[in-house]
């Protein structure tokens, strides 16, 4: 079989036109997902059983079902409810992009909250005792001791989840969104050249991932500055 | 401040502490007066750390009463806060906040708990760093200091809160031998200034020269307490004699 380089050169700029949407899906749902994750984390460690339990059920449901199914339920399922069509959320939910962002946010929030909880649990208990002995309140200890240390401890696993989220955005193409993958699928349908198109698409995602890895590397080095002996 | 000398700084009355079914403290009666230096020793697992951790409520006692400068330790948060303002603590593993510079380690609780303004807190921090003889390390992170230096910082951090009492939980046990003396020197200085101190330690030289009273614990009980001279030269209890033979045999 032949490999049509020309076709790749032609279709690359077309696919890159979808970069904006891919980026939008990643950044918006990444940011909202992180906020949701922090909320779920606080519920998990609140010591109030009803908050903890609610968060646990939520996390179980969203980790226990495929993200593709979640996207379909939100996109095809929610509009069937009169109440939703009449609610203030309808102008978001009637757009496929809004549905995709909602699904990605809800999904990544569940995973990231457990990553953050792992970080919180890894903080040396002795440091919290030192805080108590100095008279710091539970809130002060959380803000000034637990949170900064847990952030650093969770970062490697968190960066993994962000990279995973980047690739989950490709699923948005299943609900008519023209992100990079959506555009690639249209080109493939027109040209019937799946190899060239999907391989070049894969390479675009890899370049993107490389950038994310580098970015997280920089953040990790910055947050870990106090773990190195030399100045 | 406690002007009434007849009232003990630390008073433990029939204190019992359980971890599940294991009884870590049995019927502890202890009084420590202002300015007293107490050394607690005993074999591993004898309850000595648990005892001092009950004094600032890092452990909650199950039965009996504990009064610190007349404040009873109960579940009341105000009482616990009040006691912790009076009582400083130095840990075996230093427990400096690794993500803060030395100076910040000394300032943070002053700012948050005492509401001391930043400039003032920094001044106090530097003053105590000079007392433990490492002002030049102020802008480093804990990991960049030796163990002995870290423990001196930890002592300075406790002092910054201007406590009435300081608890030492095996402060030299995690140190390399050549660093033990620099920490003990700081503790001896504190003792000379009249700080009320309760030290869990195996440094018998320190106990002999500094302590007003040595307490020997075994299996959760206070087995014997005496002046250092009586304790080391004339131990009364069988278990004390056995313990002293074990630790002084080399």
Tokens of A61: 């449901």
Portion of chain B with pLDDT greater than 70, in percent: 98
Q: Are A193 and A4 in contact (CB under 8 A)?
A: yes
- Quick one: average pLDDT of B205-225? 93
Tokens of A89: 């959320």
Q: Which residues of chain A from 2 to 21 reach within 8 Å of chain B, CB to CB?
A: none
The reply to whether residue A135 touches residue B157, judged by beta carbons under 8 angstroms, is no
- Report the candidate in A76, A71, A62 with the shortest Cα–Cα distance to residue A101: A71
Q: Which residues of A touch B96 (CB under 8 A)?
A: 130
User: Is pLDDT of B9 > 80?
Assistant: yes
Tokens of B238: 């069988």
Torsions phi, psi for A3 (to 5 deg): -115, 110
The reply to whether residue B85 touches residue A135, judged by beta carbons under 8 angstroms, is yes
Q: How far apart are CA A194 and CA A204, in angstroms?
A: 15
Q: How far apart are CA B87 and CA B37, in angstroms?
A: 14
Q: What is the pTM of this model?
A: 0.90
The reply to whether residue B112 touches residue A231, judged by beta carbons under 8 angstroms, is no
- In tens, the pLDDT along B125-173 reads 999 999 999 999 999 999 999 999 999 999 999 999 999 999 999 999 9
Beta-bridged to residue B222, according to DSSP, are: B217
Residue with tokens 């700081």: B186
The reply to whether residue A136 touches residue B112, judged by beta carbons under 8 angstroms, is yes
Nearest CA in chain A to B100: A226
Would you place residue A94 in the very low, low, confident or very high pLDDT band (cuts 50, 70, 90)?
A: confident
Of A127, A133, A137, nearest to B97 by CB-CB distance is: A127
Q: How far apart are CA B100 and CA A130, in angstroms?
A: 14
Q: Which residues of B touch A145 (CB under 8 A)?
A: 97
Average pLDDT, chain A: 92
Q: How far apart are CA A35 and CA B212, in angstroms?
A: 56
Give the pLDDT score at A92: 79
- In tens, the pLDDT along A50-90 reads 999 999 999 999 999 999 999 999 999 887 888 878 887 78
- In tens, the pLDDT along B87-124 reads 999 999 999 999 999 999 999 999 999 999 999 999 99
Question: Residue B154 contacts by C-beta under 8 Å, 6 or more apart in sequence?
Answer: A130, B90, B91, B94, B95, B96, B171
Would you place residue B250 in the very low, low, confident or very high pLDDT band (cuts 50, 70, 90)?
A: low
Tokens of B206: 């320190």
Would you place residue A7 in the very low, low, confident or very high pLDDT band (cuts 50, 70, 90)?
A: confident
- Report the candidate in B178, B187, B225, B179 with the shortest Cα–Cα distance to residue B206: B187
Give the pLDDT score at B17: 96
Tell which of B103, B109, B140, B160 to mutate to test the A interface (max A CBs under 10 Å).
B109
**DSSP character at residue B88:** E
Residue B196 parent element (H or E): strand B196-200
Give the pLDDT score at A121: 96
Give the pLDDT score at A222: 93
Q: Which residues of A touch B112 (CB under 8 A)?
A: 136, 140, 144
Q: How far apart are CA A46 and CA B163, in angstroms?
A: 31
Q: Which residue has the higher pLDDT, A93 or A132?
A: A132
Give the pLDDT score at B1: 43
The reply to whether residue B87 touches residue A227, judged by beta carbons under 8 angstroms, is no
- CA distances (Å), B111 to each of A204, B5, B124, B132, B139, in order? 50, 32, 11, 21, 18
Give the pLDDT score at A2: 66
- Residue A36: CB atoms within 10 Å: 21
Residue B163 parent element (H or E): none
The reply to whether residue A133 touches residue B141, judged by beta carbons under 8 angstroms, is no
Of A130, A135, A148, nearest to B113 by CB-CB distance is: A135
Q: Which residues of B touch A148 (CB under 8 A)?
A: 99
Q: Which residue has the higher pLDDT, A231 or A58?
A: A58
DSSP alpha helix (H) spans, chain B: 48-55, 77-86, 102-112, 118-131, 147-160, 177-192, 204-210, 228-233, 238-247
- CA distances (Å), A92 to each of A44, A89, A96, A217, in order? 29, 5, 8, 34
């Amino acid at each position: 079989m032949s490999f049509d380089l020309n076709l790749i050169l032609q279709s690359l700029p077309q696919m890159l036109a979808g970069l904006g949407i891919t980026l939008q899906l990643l950044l918006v749902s990444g940011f909202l997902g992180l906020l949701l994750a922090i909320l779920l984390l606080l519920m998990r460690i609140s010591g109030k059983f009803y908050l903890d339990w609610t968060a646990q059920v939520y996390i179980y449901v969203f980790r226990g079902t495929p993200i593709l199914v979640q996207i379909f339920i939100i996109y095809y399922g929610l509009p069937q409810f009169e109440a939703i069509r009449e609610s203030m959320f309808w102008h978001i939910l009637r757009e496929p992009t809004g549905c995709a962002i909602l699904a990605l946010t809800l999904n990544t929030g569940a995973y990231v909250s457990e990553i953050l909880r792992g970080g919180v649990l890894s903080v040396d208990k002795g440091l919290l005792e030192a805080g108590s002995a100095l008279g710091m309140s539970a809130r002060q200890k959380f803000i000034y001791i637990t949170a900064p240390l847990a952030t650093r401890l969770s970062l490697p696993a968190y960066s993994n989840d962000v990279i995973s989220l980047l690739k989950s955005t490709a699923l948005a193409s299943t609900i008519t969104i023209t992100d990079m993958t959506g555009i690639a699928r249209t080109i493939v349908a027109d040209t019937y050249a799946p190899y060239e198109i999907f391989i070049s698409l894969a390479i675009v995602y890899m370049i993107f991932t490389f950038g994310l890895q580098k970015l997280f590397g920089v953040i990790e080095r910055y947050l870990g500055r106090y773990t190195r002996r030399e100045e | 401040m406690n002007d009434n000398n007849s009232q003990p700084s630390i008073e433990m009355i029939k204190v019992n502490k359980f971890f599940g079914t294991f009884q870590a403290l049995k019927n502890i009666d202890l009084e420590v007066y202002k300015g007293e230096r107490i050394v607690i020793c005993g074999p591993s697992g004898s309850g000595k750390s648990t005892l001092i951790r009950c004094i600032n409520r890092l452990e909650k006692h199950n039965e009996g009463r504990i009064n610190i400068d007349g404040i009873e330790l109960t579940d009341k948060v105000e009482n616990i806060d009040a006691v912790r303002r009076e009582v400083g603590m130095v840990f075996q593993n230093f427990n400096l906040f690794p993500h803060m510079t030395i100076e910040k380690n000394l300032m943070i609780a002053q700012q948050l708990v005492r509401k001391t303004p930043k400039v003032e807190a920094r001044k106090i921090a530097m003053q105590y760093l000079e007392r433990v003889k490492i002002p030049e390390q102020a802008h480093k992170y804990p990991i960049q200091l030796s163990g002995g230096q870290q423990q001196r910082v930890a002592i300075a951090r406790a002092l910054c809160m201007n406590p009435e009492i300081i608890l030492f939980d095996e402060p030299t046990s995690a140190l390399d031998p050549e660093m033990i003396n620099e920490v003990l020197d700081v503790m001896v200085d504190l003792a000379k200034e009249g700080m009320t101190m309760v030290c869990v330690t195996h440094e018998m030289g320190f106990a002999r020269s500094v302590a007003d009273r040595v307490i020997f614990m075994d299996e959760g009980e206070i087995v014997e307490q005496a002046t250092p001279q009586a304790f080391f030269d004339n131990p009364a209890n069988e278990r004390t004699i056995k313990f002293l033979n074990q630790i002084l045999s080399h």
